[in-house]
């Protein structure tokens, strides 16, 4: 990738070759999936109806795209103006993240063409999945509108850009409201199955856990993504972006550290309230502690140290660490601790094709991200709109 | 976007969210099931594992023929579950009371009074009928399989090999037959009368009487009377229900109640968040304004001060200049007078002296 930084436009780089191969494999798997049904490509069965397309593409995808609402809220609603240069990269990540969630859902649904049914044909309002679907649908629209000024600036459509730019505050408020609801509802999906989810992960607080963890998930993803962007797209960034990025890193590291500490607190509150201490002594208890201590408490401390010492290397590593922790948590809830009573032979493990589709989806995201940031004013201010916050 | 438009949008979102909560089953009334609902009572002490019910189910529902015929009882040696091609299965279990006599249990959809699948379905493809059955409408199903996640007994199965029109498959309690006044296929065929069909209320009374009449034969519990809010398939048994592969410790809370709290949070969030966030925004905006005003005031105060100081200085300078001028004039005048008087100096001197 470093070669392409200097050459800029050459088409055949190691990156594009690998991406091309993944896309071709992805298209083949897509064909297999829609010709032969879910059974042809997945290891799903009647006991395990949800595999990694839900665990990774949906649950992790939505959590990691939470940077959109956290960053815009910090900048516009809480008035932390020095985060402004982080807003556009976060919005791009969120918009692409949600778009890919919806895209990936087409693979998992038995009848993907009926995706609009819950909203437009028959509303199952008692379902938490309905809430998730409705919120994701509206929020994706909100993110799209929030994204359009970037495209309008690129296309030179000043009038439209200025109109949409005026909607910033209401859109941000809607973004936070919708995110609160669907982030928490993803956790609440599992409230209906108390006998299938392990007691350490099952809690009436599940919606709260998912919502709070989405905050530090989103911010960590912004930090992680920005550290990658600084490596690959540094030449695109203007002075404001470069000057502000350290402040963003410090601010987010501090915020994450606090929120993660609070998260650990209510996690234990959940254990205490439902008196599940005894479970901590079991094998699943060890795994629970690995998740909570190894992937929440330790990164929280690491963030705090990174903030205190202004150690940006440590903050970057911690961001990745936290992102992995979120992925671990979502997998634990939806796979590892789910169906825990089933004998090992009846448990699910993803097939190569399922993993392949997930990699394909992520690759499409990276390609779309590159397309946007190399063309549109994301890391820099468009000269026509300088200083218009 | 102007304020009115924005408020309208927020209102619309809230309305959608509120509509979302009005429909859920767990309100402040306790739902005890439809009064005329039918049920089936399974007696584990009667079942002999003949698989006739499986056969009848297969015929009535026109399901594909299995690999092994229904009179082949060796299939009982492995544990089976319901699938998209088999709506009901009989499994064999060890008898803890009498090791020489295995027990059998028929498994199928339990037709919950407040079904988890119906509560979970985001397109209302599942419906609880007043007659007792939980039925599925494939014309609405999107194929998300959340019903399968939600079902406490893992009953619904899915046509994974169907590329275009996969369906969720499960026992229908022979709903079409019930509407015709017929018995469910399995009940009709059972040679041991291990299955009994009737009104749910009456079956519960019947089961209680039986348990009372034969206390040595039965455990004092009707499985399904209260489990997960109650089901329309009921079980009585001589061995603990856990040994029959029926989940124990499910609790009596119905599925809709389990999620009602989370759904109730929706109006709170849609109501509270916009107000709170707009408030926060207003606060920081006002603070910015105040800061700006304070700054402006300070600047203008400083300017005024500087101006008045400058004026004072000017006037004092002017005054000084005036004084100096006067003095200069005086001096000049004096000088002039002196000069004018100078030639007469000699004359004057005496005069002056004089």
For A179-209, the pLDDT digits (tens) are 999 999 999 999 999 999 999 999 999 999 9
**Is A314 contained in some domain?**
yes
Residue B8: the pLDDT is 55
Residue A9: the pLDDT is 56
Start-to-end CA span in chain B (Å): 100
Are B91 and B107 contacting, i.e. CB atoms less than 8 angstroms apart?
yes
**Is A304 contained in some domain?**
yes
**Is A3 contained in some domain?**
no
Nearest CA in chain B to A139: B13
Of A76, A108, A177, the CB nearest to B13: A177
Are A94 and A51 contacting, i.e. CB atoms less than 8 angstroms apart?
no
**Is A4 contained in some domain?**
no
Are B39 and B198 contacting, i.e. CB atoms less than 8 angstroms apart?
yes
Are A100 and A369 contacting, i.e. CB atoms less than 8 angstroms apart?
no
Question: How many domains is chain A built from?
Answer: 1
Q: How far is B93 from chain A (nearest CA, A)?
A: 16
Pairing of strands B134-136, B157-158: unpaired
Residue closest to B145 by CA, chosen among B164, B161, B122: B122
Of A37, A169, A194, the CB nearest to B161: A37
Q: Which residues of A touch B152 (CB under 8 A)?
A: 193, 195-196
Q: What token pair was written down for A305?
A: 């140290």
Contact yes or no for A170 and B1 at CB 8 A? yes
Residue B302 C-beta-side C-alpha neighbours within 13 Å:
6
Alpha-carbon dihedral sign for residues B76, B69, B64, B88: negative
Looking at residue B344, the DSSP 8-state letter turns out to be G
Pairing of strands B233-236, B38-43: parallel
Q: Which residues of B touch A126 (CB under 8 A)?
A: 23-25, 118-119, 256, 259, 263
Contact yes or no for A192 and B23 at CB 8 A? no
Range of the domain at A120: 18-375
Residues 6+ apart with CB under 8 A from A98: A61, A62, A65, A136, A139, A140, A143
**Is A387 contained in some domain?**
no
Are B255 and B126 contacting, i.e. CB atoms less than 8 angstroms apart?
no
Contact yes or no for A188 and B123 at CB 8 A? no
Three-class HEC string of B255-279? HHHHHHHHHHHHHHHHHHHHHHHHH
Which positions of chain A have pLDDT values less than 70? 1-10, 387-389
Nearest CA in chain A to B1: A167
**Is A147 contained in some domain?**
yes
Q: What percent of chain B stands above pLDDT 90?
A: 68
**Is A200 contained in some domain?**
yes
Residue B49: the pLDDT is 94
Q: How far is A212 from chain B (nearest CA, A)?
A: 14
B258 touches A at CB < 8 Å: yes
Residue A2: the pLDDT is 41
**Is A5 contained in some domain?**
no
pLDDT in tens, chain B (354 residues): 555 555 555 555 554 444 444 334 444 567 778 888 999 999 999 999 999 999 999 999 999 999 999 999 999 999 999 999 999 999 999 998 888 899 999 999 999 999 999 999 999 999 999 999 999 999 999 999 999 999 999 999 999 999 999 999 999 999 999 999 999 999 999 999 999 999 999 999 999 999 999 999 999 999 999 999 999 999 999 999 999 999 998 989 999 999 998 998 888 899 999 999 999 899 988 988 999 999 999 999 999 999 988 888 888 888 888 888 888 888 888 888 887 777 655 555 444 444
Residues 6+ apart with CB under 8 A from A70: A90, A215, A218, A219, A222
Q: How far is A130 from chain B (nearest CA, A)?
A: 5
B268 touches A at CB < 8 Å: no
């Amino acid at each position: 990738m470093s070669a392409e930084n200097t050459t800029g436009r050459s088409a055949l780089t190691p990156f594009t070759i690998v991406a091309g191969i993944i896309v071709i494999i992805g298209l083949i798997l897509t064909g297999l999936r829609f010709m032969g049904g879910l059974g042809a490509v997945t290891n799903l069965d009647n006991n395990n109806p949800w595999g990694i397309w839900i665990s990774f593409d949906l649950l992790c995808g939505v959590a990691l795209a939470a940077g959109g609402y956290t960053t815009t809220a910090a900048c516009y609603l809480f008035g932390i103006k020095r985060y402004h240069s982080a807003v556009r990269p976060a919005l791009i990540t969120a918009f692409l993240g949600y778009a890919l969630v919806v895209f990936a859902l087409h693979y998992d649904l038995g009848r993907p063409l009926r995706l609009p049914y819950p909203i437009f044909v028959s509303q199952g309002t008692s379902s938490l999945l309905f809430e998730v679907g409705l919120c994701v649908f509206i929020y994706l629209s909100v993110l799209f509108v929030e994204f359009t000024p970037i495209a309008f600036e690129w296309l030179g459509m000043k009038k439209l850009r200025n109109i949409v730019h005026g909607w910033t505050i209401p859109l941000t408020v809607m973004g936070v409201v919708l995110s609160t609801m669907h982030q928490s509802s993803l956790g609440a999906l599992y409230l209906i199955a108390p006998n299938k989810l392990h007691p350490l992960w099952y809690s009436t607080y599940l919606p709260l856990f998912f919502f709070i963890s989405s905050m530090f998930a989103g911010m960590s993803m912004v930090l992680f993504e920005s550290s990658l962007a600084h490596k690959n797209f540094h030449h695109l960034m203007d002075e404001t972006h470069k000057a502000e990025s350290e402040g963003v890193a410090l601010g987010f590291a501090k915020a994450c550290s606090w929120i993660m500490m609070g998260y650990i607190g209510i996690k234990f509150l959940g254990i205490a309230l439902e008196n599940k201490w005894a479970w901590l002594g079991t094998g699943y208890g060890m795994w629970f502690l690995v998740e909570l201590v190894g992937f929440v408490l330790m990164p929280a401390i690491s963030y705090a140290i990174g903030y205190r010492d202004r150690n940006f290397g440590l903050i970057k590593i911690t961001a990745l660490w936290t992102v992995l922790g979120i992925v671990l948590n979502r997998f634990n809830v939806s796979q590892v601790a789910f169906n825990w009573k089933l004998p090992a032979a009846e448990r699910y493990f993803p097939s190569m094709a399922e993993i392949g589709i997930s990699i394909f989806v992520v690759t499409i995201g990276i390609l779309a991200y590159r397309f946007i940031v190399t063309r549109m004013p994301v890391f820099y201010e468009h000269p026509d709109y300088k200083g218009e916050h | 976007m102007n304020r009115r438009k924005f408020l309208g949008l927020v209102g619309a979102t809230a309305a959608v969210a509120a509509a979302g909560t009005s429909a859920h089953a767990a309100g402040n009334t306790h739902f005890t099931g439809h009064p005329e609902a039918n049920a089936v009572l399974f007696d584990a002490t009667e079942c002999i594992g003949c698989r006739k019910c499986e056969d009848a189910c297969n015929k009535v529902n026109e399901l594909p023929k299995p690999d092994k015929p229904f009179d082949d009882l060796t299939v009982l040696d492995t544990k089976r579950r319901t699938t998209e091609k088999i709506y009901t299965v009989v499994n064999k279990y060890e008898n803890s009371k009498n090791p020489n006599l295995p027990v059998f249990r028929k498994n199928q959809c339990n037709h919950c009074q407040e079904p988890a699948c119906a509560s979970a379905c985001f397109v209302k493809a599942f419906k609880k009928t007043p007659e007792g059955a939980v039925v599925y409408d494939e014309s609405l199903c999107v194929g998300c399989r959340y019903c399968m996640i939600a079902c406490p007994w893992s009953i619904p199965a899915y046509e994974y090999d169907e590329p275009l029109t996969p369906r969720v498959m499960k026992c229908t309690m022979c709903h079409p037959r019930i509407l015709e006044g017929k018995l469910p296929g399995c009940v009709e065929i059972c040679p041991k009368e291990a299955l009994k069909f009737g009104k749910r209320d009456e079956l519960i009374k019947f089961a209680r009487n039986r348990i009372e009449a034969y206390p040595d034969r039965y455990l004092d519990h009707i499985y399904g009377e209260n489990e997960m809010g109650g089901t329309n398939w009921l079980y009585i048994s001589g061995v603990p229900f856990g040994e029959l592969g029926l989940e124990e410790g499910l609790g009596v809370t119905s599925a809709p109640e389990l999620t009602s709290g989370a759904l109730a949070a929706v109006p709170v969030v849609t109501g509270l968040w916009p107000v709170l966030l707009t408030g926060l925004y207003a606060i920081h905006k006002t603070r910015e304004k105040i800061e700006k005003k304070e700054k402006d005031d300070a600047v203008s105060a400083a300017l005024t001060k500087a101006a008045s100081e400058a004026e004072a200085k000017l006037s004092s300078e002017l005054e000084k200049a005036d004084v100096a001028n006067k003095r200069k004039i005086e001096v000049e005048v004096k000088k002039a007078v002196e000069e004018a008087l100078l030639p007469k100096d000699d004359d004057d001197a005496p005069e002056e002296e004089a």
